[in-house]
Amino acid sequence: MRKFEEVTTETREIFKGKIIHLNVDTVTLPDGNTSKREIIKHPGAVAVIAQKEDGKIIFVEQYRKALEKSLVEIPAGKLEAGEDPIVTAKRELEEETGYTTNQLELINSFYTSPGFADELVNVYFTSQLIPLEEKVAGDDDEFVELLELTLGEAEKLEKEQRIHDAKTSYALLYLKLRGLK
């Protein structure tokens, strides 16, 4: 038995959506008592730290309905079923930014909200960007605007909370540690 393992005695399926599923599990705790766990199942995601030759970083601004505001984020997207994350990363980069690449380095991966969701984000880095000659169509319901910013400009947006999500804040620290200005 794994440390502090919680053994599921019942799973109640509440919702199966386009993107997320919600289950409520009844669990037996390490002390023998029972509790409920509300769990979101998510297909997983990728994010790409894309650095141009001139040192500028590529961001996209989009409306986030859950927050009722727009955020400036590094390019990112959800995995299709069974998709290799590196394939998703290249696709999302092409759809959202108009660049492609043949070189994506996986720099880290992390669960975004381990308390209630299994969403895992794979974070890639590339400094080998190739402009696409023709735009690649993205999802019908996604409207994004491209921004190319120095790290200093991005840090200013973070102070203004126009950059305000975990993967993008992580990316800014990562780039600062690499010595970017």
Q: Which of residues 128-147 bind a copy of itself (CB under 8 A)?
A: 140-141, 143-145
Cα–Cα dist 92/112, whole Å = 19
- Strand pairing category for 21-28 and 34-41: antiparallel
CB of 130 to a copy of itself, least distance (A): 27
Cα–Cα dist 92/136, whole Å = 10
Helix axes 151-159, 166-177, angle to 10 degrees: 140
CB 180 within 8 A of CB 151: yes
Nearer to a copy of itself, 8 or 103 (CB): 8
Q: Per-residue x/- mask for a copy of itself, residues 15 to 54, rule CB under 8 A? A: x-xxxx-x-xx-x-xxx-x-xxxxxx-x--x---------
Binding segment toward a copy of itself, per CB under 8 A, in 82-90, 93-101, 114-122, 127-135: 114-122
Q: Does 166 bind a copy of itself (CB under 8 A)?
A: yes
- Strand pairing category for 45-50 and 76-78: antiparallel
Q: Does 116 bind a copy of itself (CB under 8 A)?
A: yes
Among 63, 80, 87, 146, binds a copy of itself (CB under 8 A): 63
